Structure 1
Amino acid sequence: MQFSVIDYIVIVVYLVGVAFLGLKSSGKQTSNKDYFLGGEGIPWWAVLFSIVATETSTLTFISIPAVAYGGNLTFLQITVGYVIGRIGVALFFLPKYYEGELFTAYTFLEKRFGAGMRNAASSTFMITRLLADGVRLFATAIPLAIILRLGGAFSGWGDLELYILSICVITAITLVYTFFGGIKAVVWMDFVQMIVYIGGALIAVGVLLGNLPAGFELPAEKLQLVNLGFDMSFREFIAQPYTLITALVGGAVFSLASHGTDQLLVQRVLATRNLKSGQKAMIWSGIVAMLQFALFMGIGLLLYMFYEGVSATEIGLATTDEVFAKFIVEQLPVGVSGLIVAALFAAAMSSLSSSLNSLASSTTYDLYKPYFGKNNTEAEDLSMSRKITMGWGIILTASAVFFAILQLQGGERPAIVELGLGIASYTYGGLLGAFLLGMFFSKPDKTDALIGFFCGLIALLFMVQGPIQNLLPGDGLAIAWPLYTLVGSLIVVITGSISAILRGSKHA
């Protein structure tokens, strides 16, 4: 079976509809407050779904089922840590943000440590987003390229051409409503697109349940939820991401950092303009995200049963990451395949639009306004913000194409899911440590904070598998990606506190 004309029509209609609805929902933008914070506020439940949609990329849609297909359900342990971390953000971080009028997460660091710390944190956020979202946007092209090729219409195209086509189409459509509509368009379209991709996933579940082969039973080990890991050596234990302790602690600290210090997600909560609403959106987003991961893991188990447990190579695939894409194209009815591909676009665009808006807001408020736009009118600020949004769209596209070219140079393909999470986790340690220093330690001043911040970033280089660690004598001590943030933030707090003692800092 291959894509029909109806499937392609569904995709085109969806993309045009997204651009139209995004512009329609944005309302009139007259200032940066409207553009980046939604004016007088956005309902908490809409922000809740926007947070979840922002976290969900095409990679989640495709790769999480593959995790269950090739393994078991132990990945879900980390989602419990995500909920714990968000409760911490709601109780300890959000009250600090709502004490004053903050436009970005890093305004807090400026109030506590000065402009230098704010600039360092904001620049780190931008570099992280550029790399992590470049990986994410490129990763979007992988399943879409598979589907388009299997669909038949683009069978003569090379991998790179298909990747670049997917990247450019997604970026162009997303830029239309993000450029003109700002955060309000982003949040409301996140809400719509989450309904689309969850609906697509549920349709796939229905088709799978109706076509399971008779007589095949799911092995008991596929349903394993908890892995204590106590039978491993210490070196193996800290390198394994999905043991219970690592998943819970690492997941909680990762979520504390991502949802408490990353402008990508903090901006959504600030758009509620009310502490109680922000707290509800934050906590419930963790519960909804956990249920969403459970849904996609369930799809993976159903796929395992549908294909009777055979390996990816036995059904003609290079990796298990391609198994859901294969099912979408070959097994779903005419029109439904197009809807699922539209859902893949939805997941990609919800993440990209959020990145573009948060990058533009951080650039505007943290780097442009303090130095170049102090005397601007609101109209001038809004015009510059839109230009910055467009600039980031071009930069992110170039970053994604760069990763595509690297990927196609040959050799073993990297684990894209863990690459993206690893990049984010690496810098989150420095950001979280700086926030913890500012919130809970009264003595450290800006110099102590900067010393701790950069010590945390540098020290982690020697604990992450890569070229830096390879320079060390003997076997390096590699840690699992969920621990990057925990270890990095501890180094920042400890180093910053020791610096304050040695220097005799007396910040009140």
Structure 2
Amino acid sequence: MSLIDWTVLVGTLAFIVIYGVYRSRGKQNMDDYLIAGQSLPWYHVCFSVMATQASAITFLSAPGQGFADGMRFVQFYFGLPLAMVVLSITFVPIFHRLKVFTAYEYLETRFDARVRMFTVALFLLSRGLSTGLSIYAPSIILATILGWDLTWTNIFMGSLVLIYTVSGGTKAISHTHLQQMIIVTVAMCVAGYMVVHLLPADVGFVDALKIAGKAGRLNTIDFHFDPNSRYNIWSGLIGGFFLQLSYFGTDQSQVGRYLTGESIGQSRLGLMMNGLLKIPMQFLILLVGVLVFVYYQYNPSPLFFNKVETDKLKNSEYAADYQSLEQKHIASVQNQQVAVNGLAKAMDEGHEEEVKRWQASLKESDETQKSLKKDAVALIKKNNPTADTSDVNYVFLRFVLDRLPIGLIGLLIAVIFSASMGSIAAAYNSLASTTVVDIYKRMVRKDASESHYLMASRLSTIGWGIFCIIVAQYASKLGSMIEAVNILGSLFYGVILGIFLVAFYFKSIGGKATFWGSVVAEIGVVLCWWFDLTAFLWLNVIGCLLVIGFARIAQSFVNRSSAA
């Protein structure tokens, strides 16, 4: 990167940290630190909720997902608006009325301490692990650009966020989220414009979309019902609805964001606007990846996008084998360029038979390149068994570094960092608040002073930061980050949601039945995932229904035992 890019990058990150510390100045108590004194307007709630969900994984992996698999991932978010409606009607007024710090305080009131602690354990495990992934994702950038050791890069990324999170708490996080989302939105629009600008002069935006459609990358909606298909409209509407309902309704990293609303109405409005804005935002990010795919139809693409691993391979005993694969890749790219030019001309002239012929040729080149990439991955594994062999997370990054002009490179990398900082900060805060409120204050020190709990919250934030950084060291083995983080969430969120739905809607079911029902349900979800019985989105539905079903069965045994 140039000096200008470094200046843009460092200046943006420094502004976020300094701004967060500045906005959180002044005397604080536990209420201010954990839920900002419930003083924020709806737009703060909306952008804070969006920034918490839109981590660096979104801006690194989602364009790569669009590049490799097209637009169908956007169906994952189709259940989000429905979830926001349910949350606004049910969860928000209950949490505000009870004046809770965390979502899990309600569970002890409704059931007992066992249910509360089990749910807390599921949340802390899932959120702690997924935050490790959120730290790892931007660390790829510095490790790739500078060749830094990934361990120290993770430590830098995870520690940077701690500065304003520990000092300012939720108020600092919410104010920085607003700035981050403005930067992110502007930069991604500029990135999309630049991809189209770099295409051949006679290829415009509409032409690019036509090429992408013929290459199978505009497969936005799939109406075919298949439980084993990860992304179709049914898994998005049903499985996505349960996942989003659980994530936004029971995950403290999100509950803590809308508990900051100054009223029930402001929290509701913030959530509803999130439901309206998130799908277009995700559509834009995936579309940038699709446009990058079109760009590489007209321009030479790397055989493997992770330059660090390919450079290692070129200096290894397998260098000749990799060079042979690269020569075949170059030949395939040349055939691809002939095919895409022929396809564009045939579409302009309206020759349907020619369109089909060139479309088949383009598909053949695509399949050839995928086969060559598999062979390259096999060589990379031989040379370095611990290598990251999924390059989905590197596609957009490599394009930015190789093709974008000076200044814009620094801005796009700053976007990825700032997005990561937003989600990591919210996660640190939620992990700390849950640990202090639901465990420390509940079981260790019940009647300490406000200043004591404030210090405990800060120390807990530091402790969870260290844990998440350690988790980040092992994240490189999980392939596409955006899929990995959602798979991880699906293992736990369905069960957590089931517990809350029993609490809200099944008043006849008590704590003992709910506890054992949820334990059995979690075992069932893990077994479904372990034996790969269904696509991961359906695990949210399965987990939720298993909790309700097993809890009702367990309650019938409890009733019989009491009657006897």
Of 228, 232, 237 in structure 2, the residue corresponding to residue 239 of structure 1 is 228
AA at the equivalent of 1:380? H
The 1-side partners of 2:475 and 2:232 are apart by 30
Match of 1:223, SS? coil
Distance 2:244 2:38 in 1: 27
1:88 maps to 2:86: yes
Partner residue, 2:384? none
Deviation track 1:343-401 (CA, whole Å, cap 9, x = no partner) reads 11101100100000001100110001122222211111111111111111111111112
Task: Determine if the alignment matches structure 1 residue 255 to structure 2 residue 244.
Answer: yes
Instruction: Give the Cα separation in 1 of the matches to 2:24 and 2:97.
Output: 27
SS of aligned partner of 1:308: helix
Cα pair 1:109 1:438 within 8 Å, conserved:
yes
Residue pair 2:38, 2:259 contacting (<8 A) in 1 also: no
Which range moved further: 479-488 or 71-80? 71-80
Q: Which moved more, 1:102-111 or 1:24-33?
A: 24-33
Which residue does the alignment assign to 1:209? 196
Change (3 A) 1:271 1:286: same
Please give the residue correspondences for 1:482-493 in structure 2 after superposition, counting only pairs within 5 Å: 482-493=537-548
Name the structure 2 match of 1:59: 57
Query: What amino acid is the match of 1:375?
Result: D
CA distance, structure 2, for counterparts of residue 315 and residue 104 of structure 1 = 44
Kindly provide the amino acid, as one letter, of the partner of residue 385 in structure 1.
S
* Counterpart code for 1:331: R
2:218 corresponds to which of 220, 223, 237: 223
Measured after TM superposition, the shift of residue 142 of structure 1 is: 2.4
Compared CA separation, residues 371 and 321, structure 1 to 2 (3 A): closer
Q: 1:308 aligns with which of 297, 302, 307?
A: 297
Alpha-carbon offset, residue 175 of structure 1: 0.5
**Aligned in 2, Cα 1:198/1:506: closer, same or farther, shift over 3 Å?**
farther
- 1:503: how far off? 1.6
1:200 aligns with: 187
Deviation at 1:500, TM superposition (A): 1.0
The structure-2 alpha-carbon separation of the partners of 1:485 and 1:66, relative to structure 1 and needing over 3 Å to count, comes to same
- The answer to whether the 8 Å contact 2:31/2:37 transfers is yes
Aligned counterpart, 1:122: 120
Relative distance call for 1:124 and 1:310 in structure 2 (3 A) is farther
Ranges in structure 2 where 5+ consecutive residues have no aligned partner: 307-389
Aligned AA for 1:102? V
CA distance in 1, matches of 2:304, 2:131: 31
Please give the alpha-carbon distance, in whole angstroms, between the structure 2 residues aligned to 1:417 and 1:505: 46
Is 1:384 matched up with 2:456? yes
TM-score, normalising length from structure 1?
A: 0.88
User: Contact 2:75–2:233 at 8 Å: present in 1 too?
Assistant: yes
The equivalent residue for 1:165 is 152
**Counterpart for residue 393 of structure 1:** 465
> Paired residue for 2:327?
none
Select the residue among 169, 178, 195 that pairs with 2:165: 178
Does the CA-based 8 Å contact 2:393-2:480 persist in structure 1?
no
Aligned equivalent of 2:394: 322
The Cα shift of 1:282 comes to 1.2
2:256 aligned residue: 267
1:473 is aligned to none
Contact 2:91 2:249 in 1 (8 A): yes
Higher mean C-alpha deviation, range 92-101 or range 117-126: 92-101
**Counterpart AA for 1:14:** T
Which of the numbers 285, 295, 304 marks the counterpart of 1:296?
Answer: 285
Structure 1: segments with no counterpart, 5+ residues: 149-153, 231-236, 408-412, 470-476
Question: 1:309, CA displacement in angstroms?
Answer: 6.7
The letter for the 2-side match of 1:184 is: K
Check conservation: 1:122, 1:362, Cα contact below 8 A: yes
Q: Which residue of 1 aligns with 2:132?
A: 134
The residue type paired with residue 353 of structure 1 is A
Q: Deviations over 1:280-304 (max 9, x none)?
A: 1112112211111011012112212
Deviation, 1:229, is 2.1
Counterparts of residues 411-450 of structure 1 (less than 5 Å): 414-450=479-515
| Bigger helix fraction | 2
Deviations 1:295-330 (A, max 9, x none): 101211221221127896547556343221122112
CA distance in 1, matches of 2:248, 2:182: 22
**In the aligned structure 1, how far is the partner of 2:403 from the partner of 2:509?**
60
- Contact between 2:49 and 2:274, CA under 8 Å: does it hold in 1? yes
Equivalent position amino acid for 2:291 in 1: L
Distance 1:249 1:309, change over 3 A: farther
Count of residues in correspondence between the two structures: 471
Distance 1:76 1:343 in 2: 21
Aligned partner of 1:209: which letter? Answer: V
One-letter amino acid matched to 1:454: V
Q: Deviations over 1:21-79 (max 9, x none)?
A: 00111132421101001014111111100111110111110221122222222222222
Q: Do 1:443 and 1:506's aligned partners in 2 also have CA atoms closer than 8 Å?
A: no
Shift of residue 489, structure 1, vs aligned partner: 0.7
Please list, as runs of the form range in 1=range in 2, the aligned pairs for 1:37-76 lying within 5 A after superposition. 37-76=35-74
Change (3 A) 1:143 1:479: farther
Inter-CA distance 360–506: structure 2 relative to 1 (3 Å threshold) = farther
Q: Specify the structure having the higher radius of gyration (Cα).
A: 2
- For 1:116 and 1:383, the matched residues in 2 are separated by 27
**Distance in 1 of aligned mates of 2:55 and 2:286:** 15
Aligned pair in 2 of structure 1 residues 210, 126: CA closer, same or farther (>3 Å)?
same
Provide the C-alpha distance between the structure 2 equivalents of 1:401 and 1:501, rounded to a whole number of angstroms.
46
- Paired residue secondary structure (1:120): helix
Partner residue of 1:332 out of 390, 404, 411: 404
User: 8 Å contact 1:19–1:176 — kept in the other structure?
Assistant: yes
Rounded to whole Å, the distance in 2 between the matches of 1:96 and 1:8 is: 47
Distance 1:135 1:270 in 2: 25
Contact 2:136–2:472 (CA under 8 A) maintained in structure 1: yes
Displacement of 1:143 after TM fit?
4.0
| Counterpart residue type for residue 369 of structure 1 | K
Code of the aligned partner of 2:83: G
Identity, in percent, stands at 27
Residue 431 of structure 1 deviates from its aligned partner by: 0.6
Letter in 2 for 1:489: C
Out of 512, 533, 552, the position equivalent to 1:478 is 533
1:251, CA displacement in angstroms? 0.8
